Amino acid sequence: ADGTIPLSWLITQWPEGETEPVKYWISNLPADIPAKDLVRLAKTRWRIEHDYRELKTALGLDHFEGRSFIGWHRHVTLVTAAHLFLTEQRRAPKAPARA
């Protein structure tokens, strides 16, 4: 409201042996957040992008060609349910094979 720019974090990933950082993130989270949590949240972006790509390519999120909100809503709901099912299948321990 007063025109000032809020304080932001610049997070870098700089592996040993590299001459410069390889990845950068900007965050506006509070100053008292632990560094470990800040890094975890910054790296969560990869998971989100991966899931979005899977929703579009494998599950057909971008295939809706209808003209009504209700149709779009049903399509998105079914795609989301399919994504949940696949995620749960990946996380579930595998059943032991029969002898």
Using one digit for the tens of pLDDT, what is the confidence trace for 45-60?
A: 888 899 999 999 999 9
Strands 23-27 and 9-13: antiparallel
Domain definitions of the chain by residue range: 32-91
Give the pLDDT confidence score for residue 80 in this predicted structure: 94
CA atoms of 91 and 51, how far apart (whole Å): 14
Q: Are 72 and 64 in contact (CB under 8 A)?
A: yes
CB 37 within 8 A of CB 30: no
Note the pLDDT of residue 7: 83
In which residue ranges of the chain is pLDDT below 50?
none
**Predicted pLDDT of residue 99:** 65
The C-alpha atoms of residue 16 and residue 25 are separated, in whole angstroms, by: 18
Write down the pLDDT at residue 97: 67
